[in-house]
Structure 1
Amino acid sequence: MSDARRVLVTGTFDVENYGDLLFPIVAAHELGSRGFGVVPVSPTGAAVTGLADAPRPVTVAEMMSGEAPIAGILIGGGYIVHHHSASVLSEYESAGVADWAYAGLWLGATAAAALRDVPVAWNAPGAPVPFGGAGRRALIGSMLRAATYVSVRDPGSLEFLGQHEGVDIRVVPDTVLGLARAWPREALADACRTLAARKGISAGTRWLAVHLRMRTLGQLQLADLARSIDAIAARWEVTPLLIALGRSLDDAAAVSALSDTLRCGHVRLDDPTSLKEIAAAIAFSRAYVGASMHGYVTACAYDVPGVMVARPAHRKFGGLVSQLGRRGDLAQDWTSALDAVERHMAATPSPRIPASVRMALDQHWSEIGRALEDTREAAERRRRFLVDYLRSAIGGAGAAWAFQPFVSARR
């Protein structure tokens, strides 16, 4: 495929967190069928070495300064549209990019598209908090107008971005709901067999996928959670499969702590070897319960009953289950979540994703394909954004921001 058909896709693809790493995989499948190739872009450009099939990104700096032709830039997905520091992620803190990492993925992506004179589109990312300040909101309006197509994944994100003249923002379900199109269940069978052999899981074992993040415990003691899981395992003759979906977010430590507390037989997947292995672990489960939104999304993609523990109750959780028409899949605590997952296991299996969501995702990718083909539609608005951004930067940082790089240059 020629460089001119490459699309840069931004996100936190240099952090070992299962859900975020799936966005370029789904995008590559959907855009590949439309004649485009995908190149992931992340703040550091570092590869996630622990997962064999994790996408290998280039840096935000390369996106900004690269000269090779590209077809356009796609922003997201993930909870990336905000201006807060990423200091909680050691990968970004140690690389010295924590202060601007997230802004580089959407604000930087728009600036890069304007500098390279190519379309920029939004792949339904999320905005977790509102933006304060009249100057900042005005610049966001200019940035949104520079995009040929804008979408976010939930109504909360739409509210936080705010209303801006001349901007049409679509609300589109999280695109990882289309994971089974990129990786059909039968294509995960080998990964499932390899997992079973690696972990000594005997044939015929039914497992319950469990994902714990310690902050979701609230006032619940770990020992009480373990007793409840022990009881479910006995009642339903299932083996808990404890999955670390985000090792960069201390999930492996949570798996270890819960494993040490359980009395029933269980399996620890705190060392996944690939994204496909994690997807297979969920796709072939009896049910899923846990704190990861994309653990739940993966379960839905493969019609596995699932429940999310929404603590803290980010708006993305409520937005997702509303889109799916499955409000009963959202629990505020582990006690409620385990009750719900037992009800799911007792019910007749049924498809988890309604036809309306599948149609919305089809429409979304068609809109992105059209946006990438229409190189001139937003060209003037992209140039206007560069002017607005330059004025904003000089107004905030002073004239030195514009001139210091020139006077300090060594060549």
Structure 2
Amino acid sequence: MSDKEWQVAIFGTFDVANYGDLLFPLIAKTELQARLGAVQLHAFSYHSRSTPEWPYPVTSVSELPRLIDTLDGVLIGGGFIIRFDKLVASGYYPPTPEIHHPTGYWLSPALLALQHGVPLIWNAPGMHCNDIPSWATPLLKLTLELSPHVQVRDALSQATLSALSDQARVEVLPDTAFGLPNLIDLQQPSNEYRLLCEQAGLNGPYLVVHSIAGLESFLQLWKTHSALFAPWQLLLLPIGPVLGDHESILGADLPRAVSLPTWPAPLLLAEILGHAQGVIGHSYHLAITALAFGVPIFSSANLNSGKYTALLQYQGIYPLHANQVIDPQWFVERLGQRCSCSRLIESQEQLRRHWDQVAELITQGHRPTSQPMNQFWQSLPSLLEETRLDGREECLSQQAELDQLKTQWQQLTQLHRQQQELMSQTRSELDRMYRSSSYRITAPLRSIRRRFKYLLGR
């Protein structure tokens, strides 16, 4: 370690009240300080935040152009931040319209880092189920190829990004939250944890339930078998208030249920989960935290889809289905079971190597990326023109499909009109026949005929 105070920036959505997002700067700072000594970690997001209202200071990305030359390293992520859709969170937009949304808190900082030779490190972000628009493809391809360390948190993200370039080396890294045991010692409960338990009335073993909708099967189990769950209290805990989590969603008639006086700081929330006998909920980082501390997690998420598929490799995670009755004995037997998980040990070793590499890249200093960046800017007008033409061709293709559908619709409409006219003519002819004199005169004969056929049939 040197006497230098390293200046490192990390980018993500650290300005919103969401447990998982708030963890990443805290984990990065702890891991880098253990390897580099003095580290000043700058958390960058759209909007600035300050203590004591926020767990740590957050700098607005609008300040990055002024500060980029002072940085020794840039980390992108983690979390689900490699995205191009506009609905990141309700009302969440850049501080100025000049900053693109939502790439302003991840892609633009990456390009700035490369332009100034700052080591660019992908700190296990995710992007599954998020398409890459044509205009962004050359930009993203460039950042991947010039980054010395690209780690993403799931195989789906890896597959999408690897398809952009044969040169870029994109690898899968477990979410850095699996390293939480390096920050929290459950054998030595913190004073903040003891005080919070006292304030909330938690005076014995407890379960944590995520304060969201969709957990009716568990809530019914808790109410119906109250006597069976008598040894435990139930802590109602919001994980992402910015996403609408609130204790009131779970109802007010839950036996032995308590809630906290305030939403806890992220590491205190992690400690609460680590001391639980069981955790019930949907959140990705709720599940990861439970798994990291060996706490059984009953997840309402679809574990066979998206980022959640990686969690099936760990022992201690159990799926909960919304419309499926839970066997009470099955549930109780799994509470409090803390078993050794080989996959968890492997993941934490992967994370140790990751942070070693990150620290080494930072100490190596600035990288010679300005020349390829200058070449890219030189070719940018052509790329933009190609993108515009590709977009025009795509629009023309979509317009052709639309015209074809319109023609088919007109043909169907015409056919429907012809059928309507034919039916109208048929009804008129039938009506005219029923009103004719010959039809009335022959009515008795038709009646005899029908009766005769009936008798023959018998």
- What is the TM-score of this pair, normalised by structure 1? 0.82
> CA-to-partner distance for each residue in 1:232-260, whole Å, 9 max, x for gaps?
553232111110111111112xx113142
Question: Contact 1:87–1:99 (CA<8 Å) still a contact in 2?
Answer: no
Aligned to 1:257: 249
Q: How far has the Cα of 1:18 moved from its partner? A: 0.8
Q: 1:301 aligns with which of 292, 298, 311?
A: 292
Match runs of 1:251-290 below 5 Å: 251-252=245-246, 255-262=247-254, 264-269=255-260, 271-290=262-281
Question: Contact 2:158–2:170 (CA<8 Å) still a contact in 1?
Answer: yes
Q: How far has the Cα of 1:169 moved from its partner? A: 0.6
> CA-to-partner distance for each residue in 1:25-80, whole Å, 9 max, x for gaps?
000011112224311110112348655xx222111121233255110110000000
Following the alignment from structure 1 to structure 2, what is the Cα–Cα distance between the partners of residues 313 and 47? 39
Q: How far has the Cα of 1:227 moved from its partner? A: 2.1
Q: 1:318 aligns with which of 284, 309, 322?
A: 309
Following the alignment from structure 2 to structure 1, what is the Cα–Cα distance between the partners of residues 286 and 33? 25
Q: How far has the Cα of 1:140 moved from its partner? A: 1.7
> CA-to-partner distance for each residue in 1:292-349, whole Å, 9 max, x for gaps?
1111111122221223221596511112333x3x385344547478877544227x42
Question: Contact 1:44–1:60 (CA<8 Å) still a contact in 2?
Answer: yes
Question: Contact 1:71–1:119 (CA<8 Å) still a contact in 2?
Answer: yes
Q: How far has the Cα of 1:147 moved from its partner? A: 1.1
Following the alignment from structure 1 to structure 2, what is the Cα–Cα distance between the partners of residues 296 and 167? 31
Aligned to 2:111: 111
Q: 2:335 aligns with which of 333, 345, 348?
A: 345
Q: How far has the Cα of 1:365 moved from its partner? A: 1.0
Match runs of 1:329-340 below 5 Å: 329-333=318-322, 335=324
Aligned to 1:403: none
Question: Contact 1:82–1:127 (CA<8 Å) still a contact in 2?
Answer: yes
Change (3 A) 1:277 1:184: same
Q: How far has the Cα of 1:151 moved from its partner? A: 0.5
Give 1 or 2 for the bigger CA radius of gyration: 2
* Identity, % of aligned positions: 23
Residue 70, structure 1, aligned to residue 71, structure 2: yes
266-275 or 276-285, larger mean C-alpha shift: 266-275
Question: Contact 2:74–2:113 (CA<8 Å) still a contact in 1?
Answer: yes
| Consecutive unaligned residues in structure 1, runs of 5 or more | 399-411
166-175 or 182-191, larger mean C-alpha shift: 182-191
Residue 369, structure 1, aligned to residue 359, structure 2: yes
Following the alignment from structure 1 to structure 2, what is the Cα–Cα distance between the partners of residues 171 and 336? 36
Aligned to 1:402: none
Q: How far has the Cα of 1:95 moved from its partner? A: 4.8
Following the alignment from structure 2 to structure 1, what is the Cα–Cα distance between the partners of residues 299 and 97? 31
Following the alignment from structure 2 to structure 1, what is the Cα–Cα distance between the partners of residues 305 and 96? 28
Question: Contact 1:209–1:243 (CA<8 Å) still a contact in 2?
Answer: yes
Aligned to 2:219: 226
Following the alignment from structure 2 to structure 1, what is the Cα–Cα distance between the partners of residues 324 and 3? 53
Aligned to 1:354: 344
Following the alignment from structure 1 to structure 2, what is the Cα–Cα distance between the partners of residues 17 and 121? 23
Following the alignment from structure 1 to structure 2, what is the Cα–Cα distance between the partners of residues 157 and 14? 24
| Consecutive unaligned residues in structure 2, runs of 5 or more | 390-458
Change (3 A) 1:362 1:309: same
Aligned to 1:407: none
Following the alignment from structure 1 to structure 2, what is the Cα–Cα distance between the partners of residues 22 and 75? 14
Letter in 2 for 1:249: L
Q: How many residues align?
A: 381
Match runs of 1:109-258 below 5 Å: 109-163=109-163, 164-202=165-203, 205-214=204-213, 216=214, 222=216, 225-231=218-224, 234-236=227-229, 237-252=231-246, 255-258=247-250
> CA-to-partner distance for each residue in 1:87-137, whole Å, 9 max, x for gaps?
6333x2495669834312221121120233211110000013243444433
Change (3 A) 1:6 1:20: same
The higher-RCO structure (CA 8 Å, 6+ apart) is 1
Following the alignment from structure 2 to structure 1, what is the Cα–Cα distance between the partners of residues 304 and 65? 35
Letter in 2 for 1:9: I
Q: How far has the Cα of 1:181 moved from its partner? A: 0.3
